[in-house]
Amino acid sequence: MEHTKKAIQNFSPYKLANRFWKNCLLELNIDTEKQWANLNKNELHSIADFLTNCEINIQSKSTNKDEFVTAGGVALNEVDFKTMQSKIVPNLYFAGEVLDIDAVTGGFNFQAAWTTGFIAGNNIGE
Ligand SMILES: Cc1cc2nc3c(=O)[nH]c(=O)nc-3n(C[C@H](O)[C@H](O)[C@H](O)COP(=O)(O)OP(=O)(O)OC[C@H]3O[C@@H](n4cnc5c(N)ncnc54)[C@H](O)[C@@H]3O)c2cc1C
């Protein structure tokens, strides 16, 4: 396995979200500073068991806007929205989450990704 010298909290398997991964380790009482190479068999098994069998009880809905996890990205004034081409670098096109669209767009992030992807794709094709 790669990254055996890394502290386990700094390298999560399967690219799990960092916050989720650290909370898994806390829940399992595993020293988060321990290197991957130094985990014993029991700890490895407990991680595997937790990731495949843990039950998470939902207590309530979160506040509005919490779901908008991605802020920042390519500045909108640097993109030609008719083609999705960069105004700065010719032949470079952007679409979706990489753009700095950060607002209460609830449910419309997919739409933004599909629409900008469609426009970029068509213009790249030309
Ligand atoms: C928890 C959560 C819930 C969401 N719920 C909603 C919702 O209900 N409604 C809504 O409209 N939006 C929702 N969104 C937002 C929506 O998922 C994103 O806006 C949308 O998926 C962005 O699409 P995208 O194609 O731009 O990026 P992504 O879907 O992130 O796709 C990018 C792809 O590129 C790949 N990639 C990355 N780097 C490389 C590389 N170097 N080489 C090759 N491939 C690479 C990635 O693996 C990924 O498959 C949610 C987002 C999250 C995180």
Q: Is the CB of 109 under 6 A from ligand 1?
A: yes
Q: Is the CB of 113 under 6 A from ligand 1?
A: yes
> Whose CA is closest to atom 9 on ligand 1?
107
Query: DSSP string covering 23-70, please?
Result: HHHHHTT--TTSBGGG--HHHHHHHHHHHHH------S---TTTT---
Q: Comparing C-alpha atoms, which of 67, 69, 73, 74 is closest to residue 106? A: 67
Q: Is the CB of 114 under 6 A from ligand 1?
A: no
Give residue 97 CA to ligand 1 midpoint distance, Å.
6
pLDDT in tens, 52-67: 998 888 887 766 555 5
Q: Is the CB of 90 under 6 A from ligand 1?
A: no
Distance in angstroms (rounded) separating the CA atoms of residues 4 and 15: 15
Nearest atom in ligand 1 to the alpha carbon of residue 98 is 26
pLDDT score, position 69:
57
Q: Is the CB of 108 under 6 A from ligand 1?
A: yes
Q: Which amino acid is at 24?
A: C
pLDDT in tens, 65-124: 555 556 789 999 999 999 999 999 999 999 999 999 876 666 688 889 999 999 999 999
Ligand 1: residue of 67, 100, 119 to mutate (most ligand atoms within 8 A of CB) is 67
